[in-house]
Chains A and B, each alone.
Chain A
């Protein structure tokens, strides 16, 4: 294997807008909000940014195509700006591009920005969109919760777990994330919910109920990356470094050939193994301090705990109910509130996760600060459980 990205690039600064129904904001306003925090944190002038990547997931419902939204929005100094779209992994993709650019030596300082205006559709949930002219002719009629509900049916089928037990674990996940989100002023949904509320909520796509779904919101998040040497030359210490950046895209085998049974996400497992190897993680349950995973729906988070090898296969229901991933558990998950409380402005989510990891590792997470975290893992999953793009990133204190 190549030497990998470990410790070659560090986060110089990060920013995150308040997520929510930002009726009064254009996308450029959200970007500026995140960027102002980020650039102040980085302690550099805007002119020092040499390249930028912009992540948006559903451009037609936000800002249109190309790099103009970011370049114009921040009035960047005539630098290379690239728009990236890779489903829900878009934000992490922008981070990956900026990181690789720095690691390659093509530039010293790069910006990754993710944002999305989702609340201009006139209805709840994600905007309707084509999946391709030919694909639309035969892909099933589905919504995002419908897609991920497949995991629940597959999981039950494989492990013989009762519908009630799966639903209870799902409820625990949402209750936990809301408890975390209350402490985060940037989150969209900031109120406690009870298990009873989750279990009795309106059904959206069996067994996913309303409170099993993440919110839909507007938001932006960004990070500026550079080399450890430049960061130190700018007076930074306690550097937060990139340890691993992995991506895995389906090739159709899960949906078209294998014995994939819907109880797991194959690409997550592959990307995770590669990420652990790249970061030098051999005992993830001991070494990973915290995770921000793609909890678009509670069932996704549950299954992801197994796909990240943080739970045994078939063990996630018990681990979740035992509180392993609660704020005071062994490996807290969604300490910032997750997609559940932030909502999921597609392009922003991956960078929002990196932002939280960065705060936690820098000891600046305020009321929700975890004790002495070493390594944080972020995970995005875009598409269908059987046909998707997954990103796994690991960040941690530089040099350890």
Chain B
């Protein structure tokens, strides 16, 4: 049997209240009011498709270093690098066994994630395990329909042949150059066409024809589908398509438009993960990816689902949100404003690539050192042991710290140094299993944060260089 072996999700903690977008723009487009219900997940300034991919993988597979899937695929249309394989950075941040790993970025369409899922399933059919992470950080124009409807988030699906929780039955794909929207080279934002046309000529025709071919091939009635996943930002479309196909109303997956927003190519996997949380053994799950054609993938939930428990999962991610009512902050974090950042923001941001390569065990993987003579864990790894009682030369071996938790010894909220989300919190963190380092912090809740607070470490953006189109990453402490 081959199929899905696990799922996970990540949603940024910040949830922008859609009403604030509508209110700010009401003078210009009062029509936005109609979309102003609920909230959407938005990235902090130090989050992007890469950092969310790392989190979603962890939610799916845990933080244990040295995991060895045969392949890691990252699907996204908002990857920070056009030429630097993003999935490799994700793999290093995850401390995967990179010496034996196939990686691939899958992009350029809203159905990139279903296409990547199919490739992963092909690998599984060849006896290999693969993990697909779909992640999207969506930038939109001010006062646009997309601004009301898009959200940021990521989901991970692992596939293989053991402990399958949803068996892969079959799939059907077709390629059609139907352009509901596009984003051309050198352009930041989506350019779309009239919704009614997209609905009638796109969703209502291309999806049913693909699904019907699949159902026929699989010998399954539409009414047998227990979970129908059609990601879209057009709220009524899934039910309309389901009705046309003869799929039961109750099977139609909620698109989470009022709690997350449409997370682009991540959305199919996010909704799949969400439905798997609620699925029963025997349920048929139909996943649709729509964009320049259509992928349809059919799964059957197995008995193993009963024994499976996700970490946070989509429900946990939905529950951990924090309402954000500052529209200006959202625009600032997405570089949508011509903003005075101050002279301190003009620091040299040069990426010294050779130094970055040397330092990447620490920066990409949060690798420490452990002295084989006295067992002292230290960060960074060093030629000489830091323990004054030991001081041994060249005795340290790699000691992964990604899963470590620790407590805050010292800290401050720094308003002088430049930060996209001031004040900048940083301080000394001592880890429970040994090791300590002075590090940046993120997502600080001033009401509960203080000396002694427990923290875990998370891969985040350290510095953005909009001029060079580069960004550096490092690990930040976040209160547990």
Contact = CB atoms under 8 A, between A and B. Distances in A.
A157 interface: yes
A254 to B, nearest CB: 9
Residue with the greatest number of chain A CB neighbours at <10 A, chosen from B344, B362, B411, B417:
B417
B412 A157 contact: no
B474 interface: yes
A153 B359 contact: no
B438 interface: yes
Given A151-B410, A154-B451, A257-B376, A143 B416 contact: yes
Contacts, number: 144
Contacts of A157: 409-410, 451-452
Given A143-B414, A205-B416, 8 more contacts: A130-B348, A141-B414, A143-B416, A205-B415, A253-B386, A256-B435, A256-B437, A257-B386
A302 B363 CA distance: 35
A146 interface: yes
Interface in B258-290: none
B295 to A, nearest CB: 40
B417 A256 contact: no
Interface stretch (B1-9, B63-71, B377-385): B377-385
Nearest to A385: B410
A125 B451 contact: no
B355 interface: yes
A128 B344 contact: yes
A133 B348 CA distance: 10
A253 B376 CA distance: 12
B33 interface: no
Contacts of B439: 138, 140
B342 A146 contact: no
Contact of A146 (B347, B424, B452): B424
Contacts of A139: 438
Interface in A52-68: none
B427 A153 contact: yes
Contacts of A256: 378-379, 382, 386, 435-437
A74 interface: no
A156 interface: yes
Interface in A136-175: 137-146, 149-154, 156-157
A134 interface: yes
B462 interface: yes
A154 B355 contact: no
Interface residues of B, number: 51
Residue with the greatest number of chain B CB neighbours at <10 A, chosen from A125, A130, A141, A255:
A141
Nearest to A146: B414
Contacts of B418: 141
Contacts of A133: 352, 355
Contacts of A121: 343
8 contacts: A137-B363, A140-B426, A141-B419, A142-B417, A144-B416, A150-B411, A206-B412, A387-B438
A252 interface: yes
A258 B427 CA distance: 16
Contacts of A142: 414, 417, 424, 426
Contacts of A385: 410
Interface in A349-393: 384-387
B128 interface: no
